[in-house]
Amino acid sequence: VQDGDGRSIPFKALYREQKAIVLFVRNFLCYTCKEYVEDLAKVPQSFLQEANARLIVIGQSSYHHIKPFCNLTGYTHEMYVDPQREIYKTLGMKRGEGNNVSVRSPHVKSNALLGSIRSMWRAMTGPAFDFQGDPAQQGGALILGPGNEVHFVHLDKNRLDHVPINTVLQLAGVKTVNFTNQPQIIDI
């Protein structure tokens, strides 16, 4: 994988020393991925530190799209790219939409039409008309490490099949996050 400065890092290095929640996104123009990563940005670093875990997003575009995407989403955790989609292919992540479009990510707020229009607008008004990755590529979620331990694998069937963030956080032993803007009610 490559970081935001284009430096190559072996994929295994991301989870060699500690548990890592690794989330593969379709592409950086995908509205569902953007909204999912906006919610990932709400995960406090302190929650990850308490659980000795890393939160990592991997896209499949050029590395120069990382910093603008982080600025757009407010995401401050680790982000890398797999521009040739080698890891996507190795893990068997599918291309194309699955038949089951009834799956709905709780992190996607836009409807398909409005979200698609926004994605196209971002592509057309960007510095170079660029889809920032293969638009047919699906993503997935893994919890790996330390070492060769595999705790969880989910391969997305379609653009709305993201694993709920609190599910992956719980499986990794990380505190969950309130993603609503409503105050929490605590029963005493």
Q: Which of 34-43, 77-86, 99-108, 151-160 has the lowest mean pLDDT?
A: 99-108
Question: Could you read off the pLDDT of 110-131 as tens digits, one per residue?
Answer: 555 454 455 555 554 555 545 5
Instruction: Let me know if residue 179 belongs to a domain.
Output: no
Looking at the domain assignment, is residue 145 inside a domain? yes
Q: Is residue 82 part of a domain?
A: yes
> Average of pLDDT values for 66-82?
94
Q: How large is the average pLDDT for residues 59-87? A: 93
Q: Summarize the confidence of residues 2-22 as an average pLDDT.
A: 97
* Whether the Cβ atoms of residue 17 and residue 9 lie closer than 8 Å to each other: no
For the chain, the domain total comes to 1
Give the residue-averaged pLDDT of 96-108: 58
Query: Strand, coil or helix: what is 82?
Result: coil
**What is the extent of the structural domain holding 93?**
11-172
Does pTM surpass 0.85? no
> Which pair of structure tokens corresponds to residue 58?
């991997």
**pLDDT in the model for residue 30:** 76
Give every CB contact of residue 138 below 8 A, 6+ residues apart in sequence: 26, 93, 94, 95, 96, 97, 98, 155, 156, 157, 158, 159, 161
Here the CATH number for the domain that contains residue 117 is 3.40.30.10
